[in-house]
Amino acid sequence: MIEPHVYQAIAEVVGPEFVSDDPVVRQTYSKDGAFPAIIKRYKKDPSAIPDLVVLPASTEEVQGVVRLANRFGLKVIPITTGSNMVSLCIPSEPRTIALDLKRMDKIIDIDERNMTATIQPYVSFARIQAETMKRGLWNGGTPLAPGSCGLLSNIINSGTWQSALAYGAGLRSLVNLTLVLPNGDILRTGSAAIPQCGNFWCQGPGPELKGIFEFTNHGGLAVIVEATVKLHPWAGGKWPQEEIYNRPPLPANHRIYYIEYSNIESMNEAMYQIAHSGIGTHLNGASNGWVTSMTQRTEELAEKRWHEGFFPKHMIYVITAGISSPRQLEYEENVLKDIVKDTGGKFRDDLREEMSTWHGDAFCDGCGSRFQRHGSFSSMKLGCGHIDNHREFYERSQEIVKRHRHYMFDEETPWVYIFERGYYALFEDDTVFDQSDYDEVKQARDMNIDGFIRTPKEDLLDLGYYYSEPLITIFSSMVGPNLKHWVAQIKRIFDPNYTMNPGKLISLEK
Amino acid sequence: MSDSILQELAAIVGTDNASDDPFILDEYSRDQSFVPPRRPNYVVRPGKIEEVQEVVRLANSHTMPLIPYSSGTNFHGGCVPQHGGILVNLQRLNRIVDIDERNWHALIETGVTYSQLQPELEKRNLRVAAPITSPPSASVLVDYMERNPVVTAADFIFGNELFSTYDMVMPTGELFTVGHPPTVKARWMAPDGPALDFYRLFMGAQGTLGIVVRMAIRLLPLPSAQRVFFIPADTVKQAVEIIQRIERKELGLECFALNSFDLAALIVEDPAQDKKLRRGAYIGNHGARPWAAKQVAQFKKLRASLPPWTVVICLTGWARRAEEKLEYQELDLKDVATEFGFDIKRNVGAITGLDKIIREEVILPWRMQKRFGYKGSCHGLMFHARPDTVPELEAAITEVASKYHYLSSDIGGYLLPIERGRTIYCEYDLHCNLDDPADSRSVRELFEEASTAVVDKGGFFDRPYGVWADIMYRQAGTYTEYLKKLKRQLDPNSIMNPGKLCF
């Protein structure tokens, strides 16, 4: 319950039409596709519903709202496009404001010469790609999520893009941030910290404060109101053509290869060799279950293809780009053919037609929307490792499938991302489930938690396993006994009144 | 040994590795920069990580400053003990713990140098990316922590943050592993986490937030084939434009530009100092021995034969179809040159063997040390700039130089594109003879005034050593305020290298 005078003060900052305590409006901010929010909904837990929804339009309005929140003891959860899949924007304490940033939707600048874009929080992947591709640039892809997903919040949460082979993990894409701290101060990072230097370089001066707001911060320290992100050369020309958006041709100056392997070991060897040869922008490992769910146009067709084992059990795909010229495409194809021959792979050009939706998803839209046809899905990020660890992740995945009811990925390998020319890889399995079936939700949740890491479930169930604190507890023994202490100290410095997204980063002693 | 602190230090690291001998302390009191010298009270040389932890705990108990010191190749005052204290020389912590050929990683301690590591890697067909301006005796780990840009900086993956995890002794003495916590048997993966990106916070900290003792660095393959091309440019503006045209096509691995001073310094011969140069022992804490008149004359003749700027681009092929890659990239490079109207050459200034010199330098650099011998000391203005502002920044430096009657031809110039030319790392060097008080004073004043001019025009000292710290932090109000708050929390007794940055 927000007192009338507090409501009035906030309304004076953002305008009365952009603040609401209407229960119907508020309830829409209590839902996402992940277990913590779903479980709370089934339990009719009112803490999931914010007390107020506020839509600021500017940095100054965000400052005004967080200052009032601090003054009146309210909590603030920043929300961008609402496509968070792990309940990071679901309240967990009373007197919470859902700070919806959708009115902050401007692409402030695209610096073509220096290959950067400066954006506000609500700018989506689709928008940044549409605008940058016109200029011969792109941001590197999407996180296998709908194009409506917010670029800024995805990067901050360590988003993973298809071109991670050539352009790295999402967090490598960030130049600078402009943040509103809980006391209303503005903090600019990197070269933007010095007004006349401008917004071009990401490190320093001296220690880099940007790191504190990255990775699993989850809006727990500040509201990010502006970010400058890196762009890369785009060789694909005008793309996609609107009229055939769902099945676009491959962009110009790009080639895609599907390669089947008979076992994980030879697949791993091929992935090492491709990554270490320096070719390609995209390199992933996939399996029948993954490919059917990502590429088929209907749920029925996906199930049919899955049951008949239409796609290979062990498959990699590679995308190459002719960034300097078409000669690059020829050279890289020659190298790839050598590797495939040496590692016993088989090109599957015959899959191109069935995979045609992927020609768009690999660059632009993302298959998240197709994944969710079953109602909901949750990512079971098995973890990062070396490419050779693929076998261990596969076996872990198999163990989990045996212990739990499985949904789609029986006897499949995890989805594999190869990062940064093979320095490491990410292995992921997902569960799909129907939110309207509580038993199915619980089974999927248990399976998912089991897949994430072997840890006491009671630490994870209600908090949500993507929240930082349980992970900090788990990892403290590995990385240094006082990790929790260091994180809590940083939280105290930036957010002493525990205003920002409580419970998601770390809990402070009252 | 009557000093009780010295006795306590000796009990940790051994009597031979703890000293308060004034002669030894003097050696650590200064470097060749303009930062005023000051002796530490003690010097210790721990040989194990546990010993570093014990020394940190001891310093806390006595509230005594600690100054981490690795290879002695910081030429900007970073290890000068501004408040005395215990200088922790980490040269004995020099183990190459592991080389993972399969996953292109090496686990190294702080004291491991390029000249120590590179030969071991070459046996395995790998290499470490080094800054072309670092001596072979420099610490790999500290160069990476201090963000000294490596010669492969133009590449997005092989150019920046070339490590996956590191171990740091926190100001409390606790050992903290920064990076992605392992969930399987993988030992090194990504630097992110745990929880927050701590790794960024501790980089560029000049030892003020802890002592990094071990790092899993990322390696590159050794080239199977290389082709070096030189592109002369009349102005810095033209050099930057050429760099950006080439980098937009993602061509080549190493790319940089040198002005005639720096290129001449790179190739001028100094056979009498050859061994010292190759060992990385050319530059001492009072600079280098100034060149003899004959060598200065040889250098000036060479400099006059070179174009004002030379862009160097190195095409690199790895294990598979290396020559084929060089063929297509050379054709693509020629296409870019034709389109934008510049010449690509296999040599410049008719220098014999220049191609070979560059191919060696990009793998294990040592020749750039020679520039310190022009007058005995070299004071680099090292900053990042937006590409389009580089000409204006160079003009600002030369304008200040002319005020001090410093010849613009005596300013060394090095440009390094970062991430395909998104940013240009610039290093403009000023030279003086430290034994000549008038020359030294004049160049110091020029250095300080030019530093201010660089920042006023938008140049950014991301590693704010010496006077740059004041220039930068007084303009970065909120950033500075929160750095200080963090420092107070992480290092409550303010023992870690006090007086540096804004601390």
Nearest chain A alpha carbon to B477: A193
> How far A164 CA lies from chain B's nearest CA (Å)?
10
Chain A residues inside the 8 Å CB shell of B197 = 171, 210-212, 214-215
Minimum CA–CA partner of A331 in chain B: B325
CA-to-CA distance for A164 and A271, rounded, in angstroms? Answer: 14
Cα-based distances in Å from A203 to A199, A507, B107, B147, B500: 11, 29, 24, 9, 17
The partner residue sitting opposite B320, judged by closest CB among A324, A338, A486, is A338
Asked if B386 and A200 count as a contact pair (C-beta separation under 8 A), the reply is: yes
User: Strands of A52-54's sheet, edge to edge?
Assistant: A19-20, A52-54, A96-100, A75-79
Per-position pLDDT tens, chain B of length 503: 558 999 999 999 999 999 999 999 999 999 999 999 999 999 999 999 999 999 999 999 999 999 999 988 889 999 999 999 999 999 999 999 999 999 999 999 999 999 999 999 999 999 999 999 999 999 999 999 999 999 999 999 999 999 999 999 999 999 999 987 766 677 888 888 888 899 999 999 999 999 999 999 999 999 999 999 999 999 999 999 999 999 999 999 999 999 999 999 999 998 899 999 999 999 999 999 999 999 999 999 999 999 999 999 999 999 999 999 999 999 999 999 999 999 999 999 889 899 999 999 999 999 999 999 999 999 999 999 999 999 999 999 999 999 999 999 999 999 999 999 999 999 999 999 999 999 999 999 999 999 999 999 999 999 999 999 999 999 999 999 999 999 999 999 999 999 999 99
Instruction: Please tell me the distance in Å from A370's CA to the nearest CA on chain B.
Output: 29
Give, in order, the Cα–Cα distances in Å from B438 to each of B37, B375, B401, B411, B443. Answer: 18, 13, 15, 18, 9
A382 to chain B: closest CA residue: B183
Q: List chain A residues with CB under 8 Å of B181.
A: 475, 478-479
A-chain CB neighbours of B482 within 8 Å are 187, 209, 493-494
The minimal CB distance from A209 to the residues B170, B188, B479 is found for: B479
All residues of chain A having their beta carbon less than 8 Å from the beta carbon of residue B421 are 115
Instruction: Sort out which chain B residues have CB atoms less than 8 A from A198's CB and list them.
Output: 386, 458
**Measured between alpha carbons, how far is A150 from A189 in angstroms, rounded to an integer?**
21
Q: Which of A195, A272, A324 sits opposite B251 (nearest CB)?
A: A324
Of B164, B478, B489, the CB nearest to A187: B478
Contact between B331 and A214 using a beta-carbon 8 Å cutoff: no
**Which residues of chain B make contact with A185, given a CB cutoff of 8 A?**
478
- Residue A320's nearest CA partner among A311, A307, A329, A312 is A329
Which of B156, B209, B472 is nearest residue A166 as measured by Cβ atoms? B156
> Could you say which of B209, B244, B318 has the minimum Cβ distance to residue A207?
B209
Query: pLDDT truncated to tens, each residue of chain A (510 aa)?
Result: 899 999 999 999 999 999 999 999 999 999 887 777 888 888 888 889 999 999 999 999 999 999 999 999 999 999 998 877 778 899 989 999 999 999 999 999 999 999 999 999 999 998 999 999 999 999 998 877 778 889 998 888 878 788 999 999 888 999 999 999 999 999 999 999 999 999 999 999 999 999 999 887 888 999 999 999 999 999 998 876 565 556 778 899 999 999 999 999 999 999 999 999 999 999 999 888 878 877 887 878 888 888 888 999 899 999 999 999 999 999 999 999 999 999 999 999 999 888 887 777 788 765 555 666 667 776 665 678 899 989 888 887 777 777 775 555 555 667 899 999 999 998 887 777 888 888 888 887 777 777 665 544 434 434 445 677 777 777 777 788 788 888 999 999 999 999 999 988 888 865
The first and second tokens of residue A390, run together, are 């693929």
Question: A177, A186, A194, A393: which to substitute to probe chain B, counting the most B Cβ within 10 Å?
Answer: A194
Contact, A30 vs A24, CB < 8 A?
no
Which chain A positions have a beta carbon within 8 Å of B194's beta carbon?
471-472, 475, 478-479, 483
Q: Smallest CA–CA separation between A286 and chain B, in Å?
A: 20
Check: CB of residue A62 under 8 Å from CB of residue A180. yes
Contact yes or no for A401/A407 (Cβ under 8 A) = no
**Which tokens belong to A125?**
């992947």
Nearest CA in chain B to A208: B201
pLDDT of residue A466: 62
* Number of Cβ pairs < 8 A linking chain A and chain B: 295
Which residues of chain B are within 8 Å of residue A194 when distances are taken between CB atoms? 455, 460, 472, 475-476
Number of other CB atoms surrounding residue B36 within 10 Å: 11
Residue in B209, B321, B420 nearest the CB of A335: B321
Of B177, B384, B423, the CB nearest to A479: B177
- Are A203 and A254 in contact by the 8 Å Cβ rule? The answer is no
- Could you tell me the pTM of the whole model? 0.96
Distance from CA of A302 to the nearest CA of B (A): 32
Q: Å from A227 to nearest chain B CA? A: 16
> CB A493 to CB B489 under 8 A?
yes
Phi, psi of B297 (to 5 degrees): -65, -45
Residues of A in contact with B461 (CB under 8 A): 204-205
Is B475–A393 a contact, with Cβ atoms under 8 angstroms apart?
Answer: no
Chain B nearest-CA distance from A273, in A, is: 9
Percent of chain B scoring above 90 in pLDDT: 93
Name the residue in chain B with its Cα closest to that of A201: B423
Smallest CA–CA distance, residue A144 to chain B, in Å, is 20
B197–A215 C-beta distance less than 8 A: yes
Does A207 contact B204 at a Cβ distance shorter than 8 Å?
yes
Rounded CA gap, A361 and A341, in Å?
A: 28
- Count the helix, strand and coil residues of chain A and give each as a percent rounded to the nearest 5: 40, 20, 40
- Residue A188: its chain B contacts at CB < 8 A? 478-479
SS3 B51: helix
Tell me the shortest Cα–Cα distance from B453 to chain A, in angstroms. Answer: 12
- Of A63, A167, A66, which is closest to residue A115 (Cα–Cα)? A167
List phi, psi (to 5°) of A327: -60, -35
- Give A-chain residues touching B387 at CB under 8 angstroms: 113-114
Chain B contacts of A387, Cβ < 8 Å? 103
Q: What is the pLDDT of residue A460?
A: 41
Contacts of A385 in chain B (CB under 8 A): 182-186, 189
pLDDT confidence of residue B192? 87
Contact flag A386-B186 (C-beta cutoff 8 Å) = yes
**Which chain A residues are closer than 8 Å to B241 by Cβ?**
none
Q: Beta A75-79 vs B225-233: how paired, if at all?
A: unpaired
In the prediction, which pLDDT does B157 show? 96
Dihedral pair phi/psi, residue A438, rounded to 5°: -65, -40
CB distance B189 to B81 below 8 Å: no
Residue B484 — left, alpha, or beta (φ > 0 → left; ψ -120 to 50 → alpha)? alpha
Q: Are A276 and B387 an interchain contact pair (Cβ–Cβ within 8 Å)?
A: no
